[in-house]
Structure 1
Amino acid sequence: MAVIITDLCINCAACIDECPVEAIVDEDDNPTGEECYYVYPDKCVECVGYHDTPACAEACPTEGCITWDMPFTSEHKDFFSGANYVGGHNYGVEDADAEMPFRKEVSMDDRQARKPVIED
């Protein structure tokens, strides 16, 4: 995935307008059923090749709302299923054979801890 929008989301739509790959959906289309926006892991590229940092996090007015997640790659596909994933949602990653771009400078420890993308 790359980033997660947490339950701190105020549903303001600032992130949707900034996403260059249209990976973000509003609460009505959130497949987990949560009342917040959602980033599709198979679409998010962490703005690699578009911006210096993820544009959604730069645009978000809520501190700590957007956090790092594991890269959506075949190497990490077990992370995106069942109890390992957001709300126990099982995200189909059977076809996750191609590596999605991600920021390699962000440590796997920070991703697993879901550290905020933007820290003051």
Structure 2
Amino acid sequence: MAIIITDECINCDACIVECPNNAIYEPDQDWAYSDETELSGMVTSLDGEEIDADEQHDPISDEFYYIVPEKCTECKGFHDEPQCAAVCPVDCCIPDESHVESEEELLKKKAWLHAE
């Protein structure tokens, strides 16, 4: 499953540099699949949908840092545990129960994001 940042976030910036998928964004910041990934232009998503990886999407939160679930792999293939949760001083990076994925799915997402 993906990780979510709760509203207890103090916007300390510790998590953002730790994310290997650039799935964490500042409050009120637009996001794109192509941000710090190998994706660019029109690509086929893991569910077979054609998407523009460079398209800017509206922020998920305008109050605190947020994680884009479509880009979060829980650091599978990079680290043994989610790095955002490991460095969070207020423990607000928690499993997102609404985005449950198997380890295999997370590793496929990692490969897709980084063109492996």
Contact 1:46 1:101 in 2 (8 A): no
Mark the CA change 1:10 to 1:71 in structure 2 (over 3 Å): closer, same or farther.
same
Gaps of 5+ in 1: 74-98, 103-120
SS at match of 2:22: coil
Q: Distance in 2 between matches of 1:8 and 1:50?
A: 26
AA in 2 matched with 1:42? E
Residues 1:66 and 2:93 are matched in the alignment: yes
Offset of residue 67 of structure 1: 1.1
Percentage of identical aligned residues:
51
Aligned pair partner of 2:78 in 47, 50, 60:
50
SS at match of 2:17: helix
Which residue does 1:24 correspond to in 2? Answer: 24
Offset of residue 43 of structure 1: 0.4
Higher helix content, 1 or 2: 1
AA in 2 matched with 1:3? I
Cα RMSD (Å): 2.4
Runs of 4+ in 1 over 2 A off after TM superposition: 70-73, 99-102
Q: Distance in 1 between matches of 2:100 and 2:83?
A: 17
Q: State the aligned residue count.
A: 77
* Cα deviation digits, residues 27-60 of structure 1 (max 9, x gap): 1217234411110011000000111100000011
Q: Distance in 1 between matches of 2:107 and 2:79?
A: 13
* TM-score normalised by the chain length of structure 1: 0.56
Contact 1:10 1:36 in 2 (8 A): yes
Mark the CA change 1:62 to 1:9 in structure 2 (over 3 Å): closer, same or farther.
same
Q: Distance in 2 between matches of 1:33 and 1:47?
A: 22
